[in-house]
Amino acid sequence: MNKLESIGSFFRQGIFSYKALFGWLDPKVYILTKIVSPIFQLIFFCSLARFAYGKADVTQWVIGNSILMCYLNTVFGLGGIMAEERNFGTLKLIIATPYNKFVSFIGRSLMHITDGISTVLICIAAGIIVFGADFSKVNVALFAADILIAVFAASGLGMLIGCCGLVIRDMNLLMNTAATTLLALCGTNFPVERLPLFLQKISYCLPLTRSIQAAWMIAEGNRFGAVSQLMLQEALLGILYMLAGYCTLAIMEYLSRKKATLDIF
Amino acid sequence: MGEVINAKGLIREYESVKGMIKKERIRIEALKGVSFEVQQGEIFGLLGPNGAGKTTTIKILTTLLAPTAGEAEVLGFNVFKDAKELRKHINFIFGGERGLYWRLTAKDNLNYFSDLYGVDKRTRAKRLPELLEMVGLQDRADEKVEAYSKGMKQRLQIARGLINDPKVIFLDEPTIGLDPVGARDLRNIIRMLSGMGKTILLTTHYMYEADELCSRIAVINAGEILALDTPERLKNMNMGLSVLEVCLKDIEKKDIHAISGMDGVDAVNLTSSDHVSVLRVHCAEPYAVLQKVMNLLRKYSVTGLNIRQATLEDAYIKMVGGNE
Ligand SMILES: Nc1ncnc2c1ncn2[C@@H]1O[C@H](COP(=O)(O)OP(=O)(O)OP(=O)(O)O)[C@@H](O)[C@H]1O
Ligand SMILES: [Mg+2]
């Protein structure tokens, strides 16, 4: 295979695997899980905020909850890949190919990043329509870059979780924990500075916390200079998660062969 | 090149947990020191009852499982340490419907695995249609796999297993679930592959299949190889060439012993199902013992009598034991 073909096959295998594994590609299921349910979650938290804080302008909550919604792809989509493969009986086939498993994982994450961004945008649109969220001062390019980095960093977390799926059977437990942790600690609905100190520390180890803060600042009209540090840190965090995922995958592959976990149920 | 597979004293233990509250760890020794060699171009069979350790052996040889002790080389690569390099040159097919992406079409399944095996575009353009035709799916290649019958899925698995043009192919019960014609087609494919110089290791529960295909067979039971030889020699091992088969309702243990003690009788075994028991008397000259055996069985109601040549199945049942 030459270089060009390898690049083509890198993207293609990502798309194939995405098509193969995710039931939500069925239009009905897609609309329900990726559009209707996130919008209702958004409506719930924004209404709650309006009620609790007595504010008319809930732009902050629209932004936070919209970005948070990428966990559907990043945590549940990427995190569940290995478990899904095992259900199909294809995990051992994938492992037995010479393809670099981590590269394949990254190829798969691209589809989820794209899909995750679309969910974020749908939620923001819904926020504008339902709550009249105010984006008049926003620098669109900067805001878009922030969302991209947010979803990328969250994918790092998802990949780290996903790699554990080679050995761990009950992935839902892990994925649900990650999702609720993000919901509680990212500062979307409860300000990070009001959390107990040790939880604040955790907040800043999680993806999304920084990009949500940056997104708020961008919505208030701040330029790149003001948010660059937050965005760079977030990107770095994403890379760290991916590296951790890479190491975890290597360890898990070793363990899976030692412990015979490639096709247990 | 001679030796393609070389397994030396393979041992594999599994650990599993029993009980919910009072957890008890149990260790199962699935392989207790399995050694064998397979030459290039050979079709090598692994026969044995359920739980004998056949799949475990295949998993170790296909790099999916680490042996607890012992070593194995395939094509000169250590199956544990050189897994990455070895994976390019081998492939495997596990029988059954799983191991495919049901939401993709047959073509896309094959395309996907071509990507994972790094098959280039030109080779792929030629190989994919060839494989689809070989397994008879060329007309339905654009349908999603979920709409396939069990046998069609099985045949697609076979095409998948050949996608990287492997030098060594491992087949774990490949004809399970195929109709007689499909199974015969697959046996022809296996022979054709072997003719192309590929080395094949297969497991099966169908004796005639093993007899028909394999150049050598290892009979494995409870993690140990009991015998390893050509089908011909296995059939003749420790016994005469014929079998006297008697169908009856029931038989007392002492009479079985009496028959096995007779002159000219090599071995006796009994397989029983709900309504009928079959007593098999292995002997070199069936007509010499027939009279004596029938005399002894006069008090039972004998419903059938048959004298035939020993098959591989007889040898197999003798080795691993019937359900006496
Ligand atoms: N993942 C596992 N965990 C625990 N025990 C296992 C595991 N896999 C296999 N075993 C045990 O190892 C033994 C050998 O199993 P194996 O699957 O190799 O048998 P087999 O010869 O392929 O049988 P069959 O003809 O039924 O396919 C069995 O006792 C089985 O229970
Ligand atoms: Mg088996």
Burial category of B188 from C-beta neighbours within 10 Å (exposed 0-12, middle 13-18, buried 19 and up): exposed
Distance CA B197, CA A102 (A): 34
> pLDDT of B259-309, one tens digit each?
988 888 888 888 888 788 889 888 888 888 898 999 888 888 888 899 988
**Ligand 1 touching residue B56 (CB < 6 A):** yes
Q: What residues of chain A lie within 8 A of the CB of B63, using their CB?
A: 96, 257
Residue B191 confidence (pLDDT) above 70: yes
> pLDDT of A127-137, one tens digit each?
999 998 888 98
Query: If we measure between CA atoms, which residue out of B10, B65, B13, B174 comes closest to residue A263?
Result: B65
| Among B91, B116, B121, beta carbon nearest to A99 | B116
Residue A92 in contact with partner chain B when CB distance is under 8 A: yes
**Ligand 1 touching residue B95 (CB < 6 A):** no
B164 confidence band (pLDDT: 50, 70, 90) = very high
**Ligand 1 touching residue B28 (CB < 6 A):** yes
Averaged pLDDT, B135-150: 90
**Ligand 1 touching residue A260 (CB < 6 A):** yes
Distance CA B197, CA B41 (A): 5
Ligand nearest to the CA of B51: 1
Q: Which residues of chain A have pLDDT under 50?
A: 265
Position A24 scores a pLDDT of 65
Task: Please say whether the beta carbons of B273 and B221 come within 8 A.
Answer: no
Task: Give the position, in ligand 1's atom list, of the atom nearest the Cα of B31.
Answer: 14
Q: What residues of chain B lie within 8 A of the CB of A260, using their CB?
A: 14, 59, 65
> pLDDT of A46-83, one tens digit each?
999 888 888 888 899 999 999 999 998 899 989 888 88
> pLDDT of B211-230, one tens digit each?
999 999 999 999 999 999 99
Ligand nearest to the CA of B222: 1
**Ligand 1 touching residue A265 (CB < 6 A):** no
Task: Please say whether the beta carbons of B190 and B162 come within 8 A.
Answer: no
Residue A115 CA to ligand 2 center (angstroms) comes to 40
Task: Give the position, in ligand 1's atom list, of the atom nearest the Cα of A264.
Answer: 1
Distance CA A66, CA A212 (A): 10
Rounded to a whole number of angstroms, the distance from the CA of B218 to the nearest CA of chain A is 24
Q: Look up tokens 């690049």; give the residue.
A: A7
Q: Look up tokens 């008397």; give the residue.
A: B281
* Long-range Cβ contacts of B286-293 (<8 Å, 24+ apart): B286/B242, B286/B243, B286/B244, B288/B264, B289/B244, B289/B262, B289/B263, B289/B264, B289/B265, B290/B244, B292/B262, B293/B244, B293/B246, B293/B259, B293/B262
Residue B324 confidence (pLDDT) above 60: no
Residue B20 confidence (pLDDT) above 80: no
B164: tokens are: 């990287």
Averaged pLDDT, B11-24: 81
Task: Please say whether the beta carbons of B168 and B5 come within 8 A.
Answer: yes
**Ligand 1 touching residue B52 (CB < 6 A):** yes
Task: Give the position, in ligand 1's atom list, of the atom nearest the Cα of B16.
Answer: 4
Gyration radius of chain B over CA positions: 23
Burial B149-159 (b: 16+ CB within 10 A, else e): eebbbbbbbbb
DSSP bridge pairs for B32? B11
* Residue of chain A nearest B69, judged by CA positions: A258
Task: Give the position, in ligand 1's atom list, of the atom nearest the Cα of B46.
Answer: 21
Distance CA B193, CA B167 (A): 10
Distance CA A240, CA A236 (A): 6
Q: What residues of chain A lie within 8 A of the CB of B128, using their CB?
A: none
**Ligand 1 touching residue A96 (CB < 6 A):** no
Position B323 scores a pLDDT of 43
DSSP bridge pairs for B47? B219
Decide if B117 and A99 are in contact by the 8 Å CB cutoff: yes
Query: If we measure between CA atoms, which residue out of B27, B46, B6 comes closest to residue B204?
Result: B46
If you write DSSP's letter for every residue of B246-286 in order, what string do you get?
EEES---HHHHHHHHTSTTEEEEEEEE-SS-EEEEEEES-H
CB atoms within 10 A of CB B264: 13
Q: Which residue has the CA at smallest separation from atom 30 of ligand 1?
A: B51
Residue A94 in contact with partner chain B when CB distance is under 8 A: yes
Mean pLDDT of chain B: 89
Residue A250 in contact with partner chain B when CB distance is under 8 A: no
Task: Please say whether the beta carbons of A154 and A75 come within 8 A.
Answer: yes
Residue B76 confidence (pLDDT) above 90: yes
Angle at A241 between CA A239 and CA A247, to 5 degrees: 105
**DSSP annotation of A97:** S
Task: Please say whether the beta carbons of B250 and B77 come within 8 A.
Answer: no
Position B26 scores a pLDDT of 85
Q: Which residue has the CA at smallest separation from atom 16 of ligand 1?
A: B53
Residue A26 in contact with partner chain B when CB distance is under 8 A: no
The more confident residue out of A264 and B43 is B43
| Among A20, A23, A260, beta carbon nearest to B14 | A260
